[in-house]
Each structure stands twice: as C-alpha cells, then as structure tokens.
Copies of this chain bind each other. A is one copy, B any other.
C-alpha cells in the first residue's frame, strides 16, 4: 500500500499528526490460520521502533507459538529494538504467584484480563498482542463491554492487536483495523498434516 493520502479527511477536530499517531486497535479474525502470524509480523515493526512489546496468550496450551516466542525472546535480548515480555495463560500467568487450577480456564482468563487493565492504566507497553483473546470473550468468561470500554479509554499511545475467531461484534465496532484471513487453498485439504517449522 502506498504511503499516500487517505481517501477522506474526516472532520474530527484532529490535526493530521494527531490522527496519524492515534493508537491502533486491530482485530485479526476469520476462520483461517495466519491471524496470529500476521500479528507477530506487525510486532516485528513495533520492536524495531524500540517499543515495549507485551504478548499475552489466552490459550490453554502454548504449544503453537514456540517459534514466535523463541524469536521474540531472542529479539528482546538482542540489545537492539524494544523490550519484550511474553506471558502465557497455559502455564499460569508468569506474574502470578498462585498457579491456579489448571481446570479453571475461565478464572485464568479473567485474571489475565485484570492484569491487562492494570497495564493499560499504567501505560506499561507500547504494543500488545492479545493472542486468541476472542475466545474468552466469545465464551462469556470476560465481559465484552468492560473490554471495549477499557480499550476505548486506554490512555496514551498503546497499540493493541487482538487475534482469534468469533470476535464479538462490539469489539469489531471499536476496532480501527479488522483483517480477515481467508483460506483459498490449504495443504491439509490435500491430506497433508501440519509440519514443524511451518505450522508451529
């Protein structure tokens, strides 16, 4: 996409610079893989700006992001770019002393969201990836209205990318960018199973 002019300039009382620098809320949704992959691709650019990156994985098993996690940990330790924190619900949140019941995923998800609210209030990171965060919303574990109002009112310049299927309508409405990954053709259609290095 060219860097050029937007199609319309809104009458929102903001200068071009103010509008340009508004923090982004992006949602990557849809049935196909690639939602998180694209979010981590975006995080590479944020890292290169020296921004503080916070990744929060709202999934039970962290098996599927081993490559990305290793890469971002290496980037965080490289002495270049921004610092990186990577937190996984699947192992009990790393900031939490109590590891919580493995069974109680709803409680774990709510605990993750409570921590995110504290971090937004503190402007802790510049770029957040809330990976698979749509699921606890879709399942009713976390209150969607609370999420939307917290995101709308977050202070400063904190960019947020949320991934996962079945994103609630209210979240899509609040988002600045909604991307949907469509499958046109996938090797699993031809009977190929996932392979290391490609799928995880």
State whether B20 touches A192 (Cβ < 8 A): yes
Q: Is A40 an interface residue (CB 8 A)?
A: yes
CB A95 to nearest CB in B, in angstroms, measures: 24
Copies in the complex: 2
A44 CA to B66 CA, complexed, in Å: 10
User: In A14-45, which residues have CB < 8 Å from any B CB?
Assistant: 16, 19-22, 24, 30, 32-34, 36-42, 44-45
State whether B19 touches A192 (Cβ < 8 A): yes
State whether B197 touches A185 (Cβ < 8 A): no
A80-B74, A81-B74 known; A190 vs B44 contact (CB < 8 Å): no
Q: Is A75 an interface residue (CB 8 A)?
A: yes
A70-B48, A184-B172 known; A6 vs B191 contact (CB < 8 Å): yes
A12-B191, A190-B176 known; A67 vs B45 contact (CB < 8 Å): yes
State whether A75 touches B81 (Cβ < 8 A): no
A38-B181, A74-B78 known; A193 vs B45 contact (CB < 8 Å): no
Residue from A41, A42, A80, A184 with most neighbouring chain B CB atoms (10 Å): A41
State whether B20 touches A47 (Cβ < 8 A): no
What residues of B have a CB within 8 angstroms of the CB of A5 in the complex? 193
What residues of B have a CB within 8 angstroms of the CB of A193 in the complex? 3, 5-6, 16, 19-20
User: In A35-84, which residues have CB < 8 Å from any B CB?
Assistant: 36-42, 44-49, 51, 63, 66-68, 70-72, 74-75, 77-78, 80-81
Which 7 A-B residue pairs are closest in the complex by CB-CB distance?
A45-B67, A37-B41, A48-B67, A178-B184, A49-B197, A41-B41, A178-B185
